[in-house]
């Protein structure tokens, strides 16, 4: 894996946004045991790497426990992913399941991605609990937050999105998203600089989801006006309730 100049602009920019999100939403406290959901994608690898780097430079002590829930498809990459996590300095818990296969079976009448995601999230919480973690960090970025907003508007008929910090199960667990303010392209650029490995997603639904359609729609909007993405993101925290239908 490539070395990164200590004061690289790309790292400083990402670290600044991660720090801003952590402080604004109170994501991490001293003594936290944080489970980190690792999928093999660039976002989750950047999440683990950046939290590990940040831990070396801040006075707040916390522990990280990466977890990979293998969906069970042929061509999986659990061992290679575990090797990458070891390079980052963390042992990876690999849990092999049949979630992806079940979600794509004839017995499932729901959206395969919805069921697979729900099963994976449930398993992440179970493993996090077993490891003594009370927080689960996920690698969702700024683009994911915006895309989820449009997915919920278009396909769920509601105005909502994923939030940077969310308490669940009466406060027993807290989901945190430290990359929530970081652009996907910024993550890709830094991941390229660091020579993060690329893992091939064996899921048959990869690249053909409703999220992919929303992403393509938004990319067309962004190309028309470079301010649109920032405006959409800011709009989600500047809601005028009196001008919404009731």
Q: Please give the annotated binding residues for ATP, written as ranges.
A: 37-39, 43, 69, 139, 144
Q: CB count, 10 Å around CB of 60?
A: 12
Task: Provide the 3-class DSSP secondary structure of residue 162.
Answer: coil
Helices (H) and strands (E) in the chain, counts: 9, 6
Binding site, annotated residues: 37-39, 43, 69, 139, 144
Calculate the alpha carbon distances from 177 to 24, 48, 140, 207 in Å.
12, 11, 6, 23
Q: How far apart are CA 172 and CA 167, in angstroms?
A: 7
Q: At what angle do helices 184-193 and 42-57 cross, to 10 degrees?
A: 70
- Cα–chain-centroid distance for residue 125? 15
Answer for the pair 81, 96: CB distance below 8 angstroms, yes or no: no
**Residue 241 DSSP one-character state:** G
Q: How many Cβ atoms sit within 10 Å of the Cβ of residue 125?
A: 18
Nearest alpha-carbon partner for 137 in 101, 110, 103, 174: 174
* The two structure tokens encoding residue 127: 């493993």
Task: Report helix, strand or coil for 2.
Answer: coil
């Amino acid at each position: 894996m490539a070395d990164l100049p200590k004061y690289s602009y790309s790292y400083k920019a990402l670290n600044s946004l991660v720090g801003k999100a952590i402080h604004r939403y109170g994501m991490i406290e001293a003594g936290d045991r944080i489970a980190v959901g690792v999928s093999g994608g660039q976002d989750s690898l950047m999440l683990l790497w950046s939290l590990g780097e940040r831990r070396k430079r801040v006075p707040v002590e916390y522990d990280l426990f990466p977890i990979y829930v293998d969906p069970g498809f042929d061509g999986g990459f659990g061992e290679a992913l575990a090797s990458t996590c070891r390079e980052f300095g963390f042992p990876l818990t690999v849990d092999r399941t049949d979630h992806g296969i079940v979600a794509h079976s004839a017995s499932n009448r729901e959206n395969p991605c919805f069921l697979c995601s729900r099963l994976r999230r449930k398993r992440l919480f179970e493993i996090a609990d077993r490891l003594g973690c009370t927080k689960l960090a996920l690698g969702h970025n700024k683009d994911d937050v915006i895309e989820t907003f449009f997915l919920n508007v278009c396909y769920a008929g509601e105005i909502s999105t994923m939030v940077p910090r969310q308490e669940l199960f009466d406060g027993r667990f807290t989901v945190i998203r430290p990359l929530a303010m970081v652009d996907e392209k910024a993550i890709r650029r830094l991941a390229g600089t660091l020579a993060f490995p690329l893992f091939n997603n064996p899921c048959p639904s990869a690249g053909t989801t409703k999220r992919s359609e929303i992403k393509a729609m938004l990319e067309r909007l962004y190309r028309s006006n470079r301010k649109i993405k920032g405006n959409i993101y800011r709009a989600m925290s500047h809601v005028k309730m009196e001008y919404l239908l009731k």
